[in-house]
Amino acid sequence: MVKIAQYAVLLKCDKRAEALNLLMQQEQSLRENKMTFELLEVLQLIRQHYEVDGNEAMANKYSLLYYTTKDEFINKSRLGKMDEAKLNIELEQTREQVREMANRQKIQTIVLWGVVIIALLALTILAVLYVNYRKTKLTNSLLYEKYIAVLNAADDSPAVAADKADDSTGQEGPTQSDRELMAKITAVMESSPEIYNEGFSRQRLAELVGINIKYLSRAINACSQSNFNGLLNEYRIKEACRRLMDTGTYGSYTIETIGKSVGFASRSNFTTVFKNIVGLTPATFQKTHRQKAPTTIPADE
Protein backbone atom coordinates (compact mmCIF):
# COMPACT_ATOMS: atom_id res chain seq x y z
CA MET A 1 0.00 0.00 0.00
CA VAL A 2 1.31 3.39 -1.07
CA LYS A 3 0.31 5.31 2.05
CA ILE A 4 1.86 2.72 4.37
CA ALA A 5 5.09 3.09 2.44
CA GLN A 6 4.79 6.86 2.88
CA TYR A 7 4.25 6.27 6.59
CA ALA A 8 7.50 4.32 6.77
CA VAL A 9 9.35 7.15 4.97
CA LEU A 10 7.97 9.74 7.38
CA LEU A 11 9.09 7.63 10.34
CA LYS A 12 12.61 7.47 8.95
CA CYS A 13 12.55 11.27 8.68
CA ASP A 14 11.47 11.42 12.35
CA LYS A 15 8.15 13.03 11.44
CA ARG A 16 6.04 10.93 13.80
CA ALA A 17 3.13 13.35 14.07
CA GLU A 18 2.75 13.59 10.30
CA ALA A 19 3.12 9.83 9.99
CA LEU A 20 0.38 9.23 12.56
CA ASN A 21 -1.90 11.73 10.82
CA LEU A 22 -1.37 9.86 7.54
CA LEU A 23 -2.45 6.58 9.20
CA MET A 24 -5.55 8.24 10.63
CA GLN A 25 -6.54 9.46 7.15
CA GLN A 26 -5.90 6.01 5.73
CA GLU A 27 -8.04 4.42 8.46
CA GLN A 28 -10.95 6.71 7.64
CA SER A 29 -10.67 6.01 3.92
CA LEU A 30 -10.52 2.25 4.40
CA ARG A 31 -13.57 2.27 6.66
CA GLU A 32 -15.56 4.22 4.11
CA ASN A 33 -14.52 1.78 1.36
CA LYS A 34 -15.06 -1.26 3.64
CA MET A 35 -11.57 -2.59 2.94
CA THR A 36 -11.34 -4.70 6.07
CA PHE A 37 -8.03 -6.52 5.50
CA GLU A 38 -6.17 -3.28 4.84
CA LEU A 39 -8.01 -1.58 7.75
CA LEU A 40 -6.83 -4.26 10.18
CA GLU A 41 -3.24 -3.69 9.08
CA VAL A 42 -3.56 0.08 9.55
CA LEU A 43 -5.13 -0.39 13.01
CA GLN A 44 -2.19 -2.56 14.03
CA LEU A 45 0.25 0.12 12.82
CA ILE A 46 -1.59 2.82 14.79
CA ARG A 47 -1.51 0.67 17.93
CA GLN A 48 2.23 0.04 17.52
CA HIS A 49 2.80 3.75 16.91
CA TYR A 50 1.14 4.66 20.24
CA GLU A 51 3.03 1.91 22.08
CA VAL A 52 6.34 3.34 20.85
CA ASP A 53 5.22 6.80 21.98
CA GLY A 54 4.40 5.38 25.43
CA ASN A 55 0.71 6.29 25.16
CA GLU A 56 -0.71 3.16 26.79
CA ALA A 57 -4.29 4.39 26.84
CA MET A 58 -4.43 5.03 23.07
CA ALA A 59 -2.51 1.83 22.37
CA ASN A 60 -5.12 -0.12 24.36
CA LYS A 61 -7.91 1.70 22.54
CA TYR A 62 -6.62 0.74 19.09
CA SER A 63 -5.81 -2.78 20.23
CA LEU A 64 -9.44 -3.14 21.31
CA LEU A 65 -10.61 -1.52 18.06
CA TYR A 66 -8.49 -3.97 16.06
CA TYR A 67 -10.00 -7.00 17.77
CA THR A 68 -13.52 -5.59 17.58
CA THR A 69 -13.17 -4.90 13.85
CA LYS A 70 -11.75 -8.36 13.31
CA ASP A 71 -14.62 -9.87 15.29
CA GLU A 72 -17.21 -8.00 13.21
CA PHE A 73 -15.46 -9.09 10.04
CA ILE A 74 -15.61 -12.73 11.12
CA ASN A 75 -19.28 -12.49 12.14
CA LYS A 76 -20.17 -11.16 8.68
CA SER A 77 -18.60 -14.25 7.13
CA ARG A 78 -16.20 -12.26 4.93
CA LEU A 79 -13.53 -14.82 5.60
CA GLY A 80 -15.57 -17.79 4.44
CA LYS A 81 -12.62 -19.39 2.70
CA MET A 82 -10.70 -19.74 5.95
CA ASP A 83 -11.03 -22.79 8.13
CA GLU A 84 -14.01 -22.34 10.44
CA ALA A 85 -12.34 -24.06 13.38
CA LYS A 86 -9.31 -21.79 13.06
CA LEU A 87 -11.55 -18.73 12.97
CA ASN A 88 -13.37 -19.83 16.14
CA ILE A 89 -10.08 -20.35 17.97
CA GLU A 90 -8.77 -16.97 16.86
CA LEU A 91 -12.04 -15.33 17.82
CA GLU A 92 -11.90 -16.82 21.33
CA GLN A 93 -8.26 -15.76 21.68
CA THR A 94 -9.26 -12.25 20.68
CA ARG A 95 -12.02 -12.12 23.25
CA GLU A 96 -9.70 -13.54 25.93
CA GLN A 97 -7.12 -10.89 25.16
CA VAL A 98 -9.78 -8.20 25.51
CA ARG A 99 -10.89 -9.66 28.86
CA GLU A 100 -7.32 -9.88 30.13
CA MET A 101 -6.70 -6.30 29.13
CA ALA A 102 -9.80 -5.12 30.98
CA ASN A 103 -8.90 -7.17 34.07
CA ARG A 104 -5.35 -5.86 34.03
CA GLN A 105 -6.58 -2.29 33.95
CA LYS A 106 -9.01 -3.01 36.80
CA ILE A 107 -6.25 -4.55 38.94
CA GLN A 108 -3.95 -1.61 38.25
CA THR A 109 -6.69 0.78 39.39
CA ILE A 110 -7.32 -1.19 42.59
CA VAL A 111 -3.60 -1.34 43.39
CA LEU A 112 -3.21 2.37 42.77
CA TRP A 113 -6.06 3.24 45.12
CA GLY A 114 -4.69 0.84 47.71
CA VAL A 115 -1.31 2.57 47.60
CA VAL A 116 -2.97 5.98 47.91
CA ILE A 117 -5.07 4.88 50.92
CA ILE A 118 -2.08 3.30 52.68
CA ALA A 119 -0.02 6.43 52.08
CA LEU A 120 -2.77 8.64 53.52
CA LEU A 121 -3.12 6.39 56.57
CA ALA A 122 0.64 6.43 57.11
CA LEU A 123 0.73 10.22 56.87
CA THR A 124 -2.18 10.51 59.32
CA ILE A 125 -0.50 8.19 61.82
CA LEU A 126 2.78 10.08 61.51
CA ALA A 127 0.98 13.40 62.02
CA VAL A 128 -0.77 12.10 65.17
CA LEU A 129 2.49 10.67 66.52
CA TYR A 130 4.29 13.94 65.84
CA VAL A 131 1.59 16.01 67.59
CA ASN A 132 1.65 13.67 70.60
CA TYR A 133 5.43 13.81 70.66
CA ARG A 134 5.39 17.62 70.66
CA LYS A 135 2.78 17.69 73.44
CA THR A 136 4.75 15.21 75.55
CA LYS A 137 7.98 17.11 74.99
CA LEU A 138 6.34 20.39 76.02
CA THR A 139 4.82 18.82 79.13
CA ASN A 140 8.16 17.27 80.10
CA SER A 141 9.88 20.61 79.58
CA LEU A 142 7.39 22.44 81.80
CA LEU A 143 7.66 19.84 84.58
CA TYR A 144 11.45 19.96 84.34
CA GLU A 145 11.57 23.75 84.56
CA LYS A 146 9.10 23.73 87.45
CA TYR A 147 11.28 21.39 89.50
CA ILE A 148 14.47 23.22 88.55
CA ALA A 149 12.85 26.35 89.99
CA VAL A 150 12.26 24.42 93.23
CA LEU A 151 15.89 23.33 93.34
CA ASN A 152 17.12 26.86 92.67
CA ALA A 153 14.92 28.43 95.34
CA ALA A 154 17.30 28.69 98.28
CA ASP A 155 14.49 29.35 100.77
CA ASP A 156 12.13 26.65 99.51
CA SER A 157 13.00 23.87 101.98
CA PRO A 158 10.23 21.55 103.23
CA ALA A 159 10.26 23.19 106.67
CA VAL A 160 9.87 26.74 105.32
CA ALA A 161 7.18 25.65 102.89
CA ALA A 162 5.25 24.08 105.74
CA ASP A 163 5.42 27.27 107.76
CA LYS A 164 3.60 28.99 104.91
CA ALA A 165 0.91 26.30 104.68
CA ASP A 166 -2.75 27.18 105.10
CA ASP A 167 -4.04 26.33 108.57
CA SER A 168 -7.65 26.21 107.35
CA THR A 169 -7.60 22.40 107.47
CA GLY A 170 -8.40 22.52 111.15
CA GLN A 171 -5.19 20.73 112.19
CA GLU A 172 -3.17 22.16 115.08
CA GLY A 173 -0.32 24.32 113.77
CA PRO A 174 3.34 23.85 114.73
CA THR A 175 4.47 25.26 118.06
CA GLN A 176 7.61 27.32 118.51
CA SER A 177 9.28 24.22 119.89
CA ASP A 178 8.26 22.27 116.74
CA ARG A 179 9.78 24.96 114.53
CA GLU A 180 13.04 24.93 116.47
CA LEU A 181 13.26 21.15 116.24
CA MET A 182 12.42 21.27 112.52
CA ALA A 183 15.24 23.73 111.95
CA LYS A 184 17.65 21.23 113.53
CA ILE A 185 16.17 18.38 111.51
CA THR A 186 16.52 20.42 108.32
CA ALA A 187 20.16 21.23 109.15
CA VAL A 188 20.93 17.52 109.51
CA MET A 189 19.01 16.58 106.37
CA GLU A 190 20.89 19.19 104.35
CA SER A 191 24.36 18.38 105.66
CA SER A 192 24.58 14.72 106.61
CA PRO A 193 25.54 12.25 103.85
CA GLU A 194 24.04 9.49 106.02
CA ILE A 195 20.54 10.28 104.71
CA TYR A 196 21.59 8.70 101.39
CA ASN A 197 22.38 5.37 103.05
CA GLU A 198 19.81 2.71 102.23
CA GLY A 199 19.22 1.82 105.90
CA PHE A 200 18.87 5.39 107.15
CA SER A 201 16.05 5.41 109.70
CA ARG A 202 13.96 7.73 111.77
CA GLN A 203 15.83 6.49 114.86
CA ARG A 204 19.17 7.45 113.32
CA LEU A 205 17.88 10.91 112.39
CA ALA A 206 16.72 11.42 115.98
CA GLU A 207 20.18 10.44 117.21
CA LEU A 208 21.88 12.92 114.82
CA VAL A 209 19.51 15.71 115.90
CA GLY A 210 19.84 14.71 119.57
CA ILE A 211 16.14 14.40 120.40
CA ASN A 212 13.61 11.74 121.30
CA ILE A 213 12.11 9.99 118.28
CA LYS A 214 8.59 10.91 119.46
CA TYR A 215 9.36 14.67 119.30
CA LEU A 216 11.10 14.21 115.97
CA SER A 217 7.98 12.67 114.40
CA ARG A 218 5.73 15.37 115.89
CA ALA A 219 7.93 18.18 114.54
CA ILE A 220 8.06 16.66 111.05
CA ASN A 221 4.30 16.03 110.94
CA ALA A 222 3.46 19.50 112.23
CA CYS A 223 5.93 21.52 110.16
CA SER A 224 6.08 19.67 106.88
CA GLN A 225 2.56 18.16 106.77
CA SER A 226 4.38 14.95 105.85
CA ASN A 227 6.07 12.09 107.64
CA PHE A 228 9.66 10.93 107.97
CA ASN A 229 9.62 8.86 104.78
CA GLY A 230 8.08 11.68 102.74
CA LEU A 231 10.65 14.18 104.02
CA LEU A 232 13.52 11.76 103.43
CA ASN A 233 12.35 11.03 99.89
CA GLU A 234 12.18 14.74 99.04
CA TYR A 235 15.81 15.27 100.04
CA ARG A 236 16.93 12.11 98.28
CA ILE A 237 15.12 13.03 95.06
CA LYS A 238 16.56 16.57 95.11
CA GLU A 239 20.04 15.08 95.39
CA ALA A 240 19.24 12.52 92.68
CA CYS A 241 18.27 15.39 90.35
CA ARG A 242 21.58 17.11 90.98
CA ARG A 243 23.45 13.91 90.22
CA LEU A 244 21.42 13.23 87.08
CA MET A 245 22.39 16.72 85.83
CA ASP A 246 26.03 16.46 86.91
CA THR A 247 27.40 14.67 83.85
CA GLY A 248 30.95 15.51 84.82
CA THR A 249 30.84 13.40 87.99
CA TYR A 250 27.95 11.01 87.35
CA GLY A 251 27.85 10.86 83.55
CA SER A 252 28.91 7.20 83.51
CA TYR A 253 26.37 6.17 86.16
CA THR A 254 23.21 4.30 85.21
CA ILE A 255 19.80 5.41 86.48
CA GLU A 256 19.73 2.45 88.86
CA THR A 257 23.20 3.29 90.22
CA ILE A 258 22.23 6.91 90.89
CA GLY A 259 19.06 5.73 92.64
CA LYS A 260 21.06 3.41 94.88
CA SER A 261 23.61 6.16 95.56
CA VAL A 262 20.89 8.24 97.25
CA GLY A 263 19.40 5.36 99.23
CA PHE A 264 16.80 3.60 97.02
CA ALA A 265 16.93 -0.19 97.07
CA SER A 266 15.68 -0.75 93.53
CA ARG A 267 15.26 1.10 90.26
CA SER A 268 11.49 0.55 90.28
CA ASN A 269 11.13 2.11 93.74
CA PHE A 270 13.40 5.00 92.74
CA THR A 271 11.41 5.62 89.55
CA THR A 272 8.06 5.54 91.37
CA VAL A 273 9.10 7.98 94.10
CA PHE A 274 10.91 10.23 91.60
CA LYS A 275 7.85 10.50 89.34
CA ASN A 276 5.52 11.17 92.28
CA ILE A 277 7.66 14.13 93.38
CA VAL A 278 9.03 15.54 90.11
CA GLY A 279 6.31 14.46 87.66
CA LEU A 280 8.85 12.81 85.32
CA THR A 281 10.77 9.56 85.36
CA PRO A 282 14.52 9.86 86.10
CA ALA A 283 15.38 8.95 82.49
CA THR A 284 13.03 11.60 81.05
CA PHE A 285 14.32 14.21 83.51
CA GLN A 286 17.93 13.49 82.50
CA LYS A 287 17.10 13.50 78.78
CA THR A 288 15.22 16.81 79.08
CA HIS A 289 18.15 18.34 80.95
CA ARG A 290 20.58 17.32 78.21
CA GLN A 291 18.36 18.96 75.59
CA LYS A 292 18.45 22.29 77.42
CA ALA A 293 21.16 24.74 78.37
CA PRO A 294 23.00 23.78 81.58
CA THR A 295 21.19 24.99 84.68
CA THR A 296 23.16 26.01 87.77
CA ILE A 297 22.01 24.13 90.84
CA PRO A 298 23.25 25.47 94.16
CA ALA A 299 25.17 22.88 96.19
CA ASP A 300 23.82 21.86 99.58
CA GLU A 301 25.49 23.75 102.36
Q: Report whether 281 contacts 268 (CB < 8 A).
A: no
The rounded distance, in Å, linking the Cα atoms of 56 and 51 is 6
Instruction: Specify the pLDDT at position 1.
Output: 60
Q: Report whether 40 contacts 70 (CB < 8 A).
A: yes
Q: Report whether 1 contacts 22 (CB < 8 A).
A: no
Instruction: Specify the pLDDT at position 299.
Output: 45
Q: Report whether 287 contacts 249 (CB < 8 A).
A: no
Helices (H), 76-193: 84-152, 158-163, 176-191
Q: How far is CA 299 from CA 73, 147, 148, 184, 239, in A?
A: 100, 15, 13, 19, 9
Instruction: Specify the pLDDT at position 30.
Output: 85
Write the burial class of residue 204 (CB in 10 Å: 0-12 exposed, 13-18 middle, 19+ buried): middle
pLDDT values of the chain reduced to their tens digit, one per residue, 301 residues: 667 788 888 888 888 888 888 888 888 888 888 888 888 888 888 888 888 889 999 989 988 988 888 888 777 755 555 566 777 788 888 888 888 988 998 999 999 999 999 999 999 899 888 888 888 878 888 888 888 887 777 444 444 433 444 444 445 678 898 899 999 999 999 999 999 999 899 999 999 999 999 999 999 998 887 899 999 999 999 999 999 999 889 989 999 999 999 999 999 999 999 999 999 999 999 999 988 755 444 444 3
The rounded distance, in Å, linking the Cα atoms of 102 and 108 is 10
Q: Report whether 189 contacts 226 (CB < 8 A).
A: no
Instruction: Specify the pLDDT at position 164.
Output: 40
Number of Cβ within 10 Å of residue 209's Cβ equals 21
Q: Report whether 270 contacts 259 (CB < 8 A).
A: yes
Instruction: Specify the pLDDT at position 131.
Output: 86
Instruction: Specify the pLDDT at position 185.
Output: 94
